[in-house]
Homo-oligomer: A and B are copies of this chain.
Amino acid sequence: IECILVTAEENKIRLTANNMELAIETILEGEIKETGVVALEAKLFLDSIRLLYESDVTISTDDNFLTTIQCEGDEYKISGKSGDDFPELPAVEKNDPLKISCLTFKDIVRQTIFSVSENESNKMMAGELLEVKNNVLSMISLDGHRISIRKTPLKEENSEENEEADAEAANEHRDVSVVVPGKNLDEVSRIIPGEINKDIKLFFTDKHIIFEFENTTVVSRIIEGEYYRVDQMLSNDYETKLKINKKKFLDSVDKATVIVKEGDKKPIIISIEDQSMNIKINSPVASFHGDLEVEKEGQDIMIGFNPKFIKDVLRVVDDETITVYMVNPKAPCTIKNEDESYIYLVLPVNFKTVD
């Protein structure tokens, strides 16, 4: 059913795609000569549209659902199907929307989605927790090796307009805790416009989360069950605290990993001694070591990591200087900022001490 349902209604055209995991609907304005519905093979429909001149397009179907797409001197005819067997958008009751800037939402998804587990055998890990508590939105993912947390306060965008009225009430959103399939969240975030001044609305039902932005509505199923108690996995204890220039740290890990393949599972070994960090990696045919200045409090340490996990975090942190907390070579290391709007935990890996 990789089809797009094209529905011509009074004064508008509705495009619907639904793979039972995720349903997307978008509304277009258009001149409707006759209402009707047809299901078109998605890729073929897209291909037929995408090279047309920027001009008016006419779409019509005959009794056999053969669909004609006309634009200037060009005409495609593509086979369609009856829309009858095609699932519409699930009927969901929408109330009490959570409003947030499109860009902010897109960002926090990007900054957490990478640690959703790719192994789908664990249903809960294949999802990402979206939580609202005390008017703060948290997005949390974990895959058994690492945890990513992003928090953002919810603000009433229009607070200036209705400052006096029900500002207090409008500011508050009821508490929410849903687990959204990572794949769906990824798909949605791709089509959300990256604009700070446009809002996305989220609605929650027992079985679904609904995303509304511009003329588009997306309905995703949610994963039923209780998510991990991530709070219990966090700790403020540390033996070593480092401040590091993020770009130089990322550059250094990138340089280390060019000589290994991702499948090699070679750890990077990080040694902290005084105010200097040494990053080392070994492969059968080459080795790398790089020195970086750091600002250290506490103990020296030598600890190994899967370099991909470190890179994933460093790529999505925007701060120029990051703070890293470590306990010992077997305990997770934490990268977080002062107000904990982001917290990343990465488990270390064993490494044979090499010279």
**Chain A interface (Cβ < 8 Å from any Cβ of B):** 41, 44, 47-48, 50-52, 73-79, 251-252, 254-255, 258-259, 285-292
Closest CB in chain B relative to A48 CB, distance in Å: 7
The reply to whether B44 and A79 form a contact with Cβ atoms under 8 Å apart is: no
Contact residue among B51, B287, B289 (Cβ-Cβ distance under 8 Å from A255): B51
Complex Cα distance, B74 from A292, in Å, reads 9
Residue of B nearest to A286 (CB): B78
Given A73-B292, A252-B74 in contact, is the A285-B52 Cβ separation under 8 Å? no
When distances are taken between beta carbons in the complex, the residues of chain B under 8 Å from A288 are 48, 74-77
In the complex, the chain B residue whose C-beta lies closest to that of A277 is B73
Choose from B73, B255, B285, B291 the contact partner of A290 (Cβ within 8 Å): B73
- Select which of B75, B258, B287 is within 8 A of A47 by beta carbon: B258
**CB < 8 Å: which of B51, B78, B251 contacts A254?**
B51
Q: For residue A292, which residues in chain B have a CB less than 8 angstroms away from its CB?
A: 73
Select one of B44, B73, B289 contacting A286, CB under 8 A.
B44
Chain B residues contacting A78 (CB-CB under 8 Å) are: 259, 285-287
B286 touches A74 (CB 8 A): no
- Is A258's CB under 8 angstroms from B48's CB? yes
Find chain B residues with CB under 8 A from A76 CB: 259, 286-288
Complex: A289 Cα to B74 Cα, angstroms: 6
17 A-B contact pairs sorted by A residue (CB < 8 Å): A44-B259, A48-B258, A50-B258, A51-B258, A52-B255, A73-B292, A74-B252, A74-B255, A74-B290, A74-B291, A75-B290, A76-B287, A76-B288, A77-B288, A78-B259, A78-B286, A78-B287
> Given A259-B44, A292-B73, A251 and B51 touching (CB < 8 A)?
yes
Which residue, of A50, A52, A76, A254, has the highest number of chain B Cβ atoms within 10 A? A76
